[in-house]
């Protein structure tokens, strides 16, 4: 089993996140148990790989009855650190940023937005989902008074690096990047890029490969 202080490989983390996503759906359908083989079939992974991934979280299934869904979710949540609470701030309260503030991250993933920041005065001094929005200039003062683990960047690419530099300067070690910019940060800061279009790219490419066309439309 990987201890909390050992760096887990990114592919393992991504696969476990996928399992957790599916387990949430199974729980909502009131399914109580599943085997690693059945889970592997759902995600089209090798069953041996799925079992190894689950073992890293401390899970040991029973050959005939499999795993309890609740126990699997709890084990993955502990492994990911989602049982803890990570204080987060968001930069950029546009359409995307506002949507991120309204999503219930805290319930399932332990991420709690404590404030948001924007450079546009028209978007400041308001509440979005009961989260206060301040002007960017106030961040240094705010960060000195609050414990912040994660900075979420949802600003245009032209200002994303400036925001990342501000976060790093104030000691924020985790940056979740929703911008279209490649952020450069010191080694002690971790940047994770949220690229929504990756799954869409796979979908549209597969449609192109299979030469699927929309109903009523033909290629010229």
| The token pair that represents 30 in the structure block | 């009131």
Same domain, 121 and 177: yes
Are the CB atoms for 139 and 88 separated by under 8 Å?
Answer: no
Domain coverage including residue 22: 10-79
Is residue 50 located within the same domain as residue 150?
no
Which residue from 123, 201, 117 is spatially nearest to 154, judged by alpha carbons? 117
Averaged pLDDT, groups of 10, the chain, 220 residues long: 64 93 93 92 92 89 80 92 92 97 89 97 96 98 97 97 97 96 95 89 87 55
Same domain, yes or no: 181 and 112: yes
Same domain, 74 and 91: no
Distance CA(153)–CA(105), nearest Å, equals 16
Query: Which two tokens mark 193?
Result: 């890029």
Residue 170 resides in a domain: yes
> Which H or E element spans position 55?
helix 47-56
If asked whether residues 189 and 134 sit together in one domain, one would say: yes
Tokens 């449609």, residue located:
207
Q: Judge if 150 and 62 occupy the same domain.
A: no
CATH number at residue 30: 1.10.10.10
Q: Which residues pair with 117 in a beta bridge?
A: 91, 134
pLDDT number for residue 109 = 87
Q: Which pLDDT score is estimated for 3?
A: 45
Q: How does 66-89 read in b/e, with b if 16+ C-beta sit within 10 Å?
A: bbbbebbbebbbebbebeeebebb
Instruction: Output the six-digit token pair for 76.
Output: 């993955």
Residue 117 sits in a domain whose CATH number is: 3.40.50.720
* Domain-ending residue, one of 79, 100, 123: 79
Q: Other CB atoms closer than 10 Å to residue 108's CB: what's the count?
A: 14
pLDDT of residue 7: 78
Which of 79, 111, 140 corresponds to the end of one domain?
79
Domain boundary among 58, 79, 100: 79
Give the integer Cα–Cα distance in Å for 8 and 12. Answer: 7
Distance CA 7, CA 171 (A): 21
pTM equals: 0.82
Number of independent structural domains in the chain = 2
């Amino acid at each position: 089993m990987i201890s909390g202080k050992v760096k887990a490989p990114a592919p393992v983390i991504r696969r476990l996140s996928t399992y957790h996503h599916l387990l949430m759906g199974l729980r909502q359908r009131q399914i109580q148990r599943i085997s690693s083989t059945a889970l592997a079939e759902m995600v089209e992974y090798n069953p041996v790989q799925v079992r190894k991934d689950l073992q890293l979280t401390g899970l040991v299934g029973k050959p005939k009855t499999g795993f309890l869904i609740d126990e699997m979710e709890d084990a993955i949540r502990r492994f990911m650190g989602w049982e803890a609470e990570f204080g987060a701030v968001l930069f950029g309260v546009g359409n995307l940023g506002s949507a991120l503030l309204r999503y219930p991250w805290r319930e399932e993933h332990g991420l709690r937005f404590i404030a948001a920041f924007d450079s546009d005065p028209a978007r400041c001094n308001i509440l979005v989902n009961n989260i206060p929005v301040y002007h960017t200039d106030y961040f240094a003062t705010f960060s000195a008074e609050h414990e912040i683990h994660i900075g979420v960047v949802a600003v245009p690419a032209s200002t994303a690096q400036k925001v990342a530099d501000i976060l790093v300067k104030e000691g924020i070690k985790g940056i979740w990047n929703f911008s279209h910019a490649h952020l450069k940060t010191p080694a002690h800061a971790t940047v994770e890029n949220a690229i929504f279009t990756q799954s869409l790219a796979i979908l549209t490419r597969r449609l192109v490969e299979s030469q699927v066309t929309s109903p009523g439309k033909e290629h010229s």
